[in-house]
Amino acid sequence: MDIICGRIYRNGIHRACIGIENGKIVAIAHHLEGKKTDYGNALIFPAAVDIHVHFREPGQEYKEDFFTGTRAAALSGVTCVLDMPNNRPAIVTKDAFEEKAALVRDKACIDFGLYGGITEKFEDMPCIAYKTFLSKDNEIFCSSDRIEHVLRAVKGAEKPLVIHAELEECIERDTPKNLKEHERSRRAECEIAAVREVLKANGHIHAKIHFCHLTTPEAVEMAKGRASYGVTPHHLLFSCERSFTHEAWGKVNPPLRSERERKKLYEHFIHGEIPILESDHAPHTREEKEDFEQAPSGMPGANAMIPLMLYRVKRGDISLDRLFHMVCKNPAAFFGIPKGSIEVGKDADFMVIDFEKEQEIKPRSKCGWSPYKGWPCIYPSHVYLRGEKIVEEYEFVGGAGMGKMIQ
């Protein structure tokens, strides 16, 4: 039995040892016999689960591939990611799903799940969950008058449905020239109306649903107690009034809101009203993000989310317990993943944190840039995946193929 000792986060912080066999936690006690690694006063914290990444494989590997994406996530303390289906081709059939799974399986450095895309036509897939868009930004689109059909289909499949909540008929399909125009073209009401429509349709179906990257306090209030929902670091930390190296760096869907709205959302965050934090890691190249009108929407974030939030724990913005629920316990529980806490029977996934060692965010995505570059943060010094060390002294020591697919 391998044993890891130190200050362990488990219903508070306690000095204890973790016993590991076959990748699982088999014992937690003050004293255990076996091969020990003691991390002294550093904190041993559950590794995070990022439920929303776009690793661009297949079809756009020049921006990111499954190896570079999972490596970037590992360095930040994430040991499980769920990858979105809007690839090229989109993952909307069982054949496309199986081709993608075969392609990425041997490249993953950490555990992963794959979403299946669902349009107005449902096809059963061995995915961890389904994803649909209410905005016509890609071919994975469901119109608002067909959302009840989709909800019934995923209810029958006994899998969650993850929803990009922007109502297509509300969006102005013009060509915005800057962030403020982009926000006006996809105004807050587009999100609020989408959440309202889905909740109404699901009122008598009771499918398991999650709203991605909510940006408005009104949508959060509507979803509270009726669905799972998440927010992203960029909607918490950036507004459409912020200056970027290139303005298109801040072009995302749904858009960055006004500074006033951002602050309201941040208040919900610090008061513990956000159940899940998700990166929505969506990398594009520097060249693609130079011209605002032509730039695709999205920004990288998988490497930044946890280090940024650990710094905010140190600063006192949020508690360690709040972060634990948002990035560990709640995402793992919603998707039925055996991670997210240091408990007997769970995967031996955790990160080691020294809060005294502040660093700056470094771009780790294949796309080569980060809107958070230079921001203060705290990276984990060590990361374990099912008991195997994949980050040691802030350097990646894992390898392609170490990750397992979760279904």
Annotated catalytic residues are 280
- Burial code (b: 16+ CB inside 10 Å, e: under 16) for 170-183 equals bbeeeebeebbbbb
Bridge-based pairing of strands 13-21 and 2-9 is antiparallel
**CA separation for the pair 189, 52 (Å, rounded):** 23
Closest C-alpha among 83, 9, 5 to residue 319: 9
* Alpha-carbon distances of 290 from 14, 30, 176, 244, rounded to whole Å: 49, 55, 14, 11
- CA geometry: angle 273, 275, 281, nearest 5 deg: 120
Q: Is the dihedral of CA 212, 213, 218, 221 positive or negative?
A: positive
Residue 28, beta-bridge partner list: 18
Place of tokens 């991670």: 339
Structure tokens at 179: 């962030």
DSSP 85-154: S--SS---SHHHHHHHHHHHTTT-SSEEEEEEE--SS----S-SEEEEESS-SSS-B--GGGHHHHHHHH
User: Do 87 and 49 meet the contact criterion of CB atoms below 8 Å apart?
Assistant: no
Tokens of 160: 């969650």
Q: At a CB cut-off of 8 Å and minimum separation 6, what does 264 contact?
A: 217
34 dihedral zone (left: phi>0; alpha: psi -120 to 50; beta): left
Q: Please list, in sequence order, all residues whose beta carbon lies within 8 angstroms of the beta carbon of residue 158, skipping any fewer than 6 positions away.
A: none
Q: How far is CA 15 from the centre of its chain?
A: 30
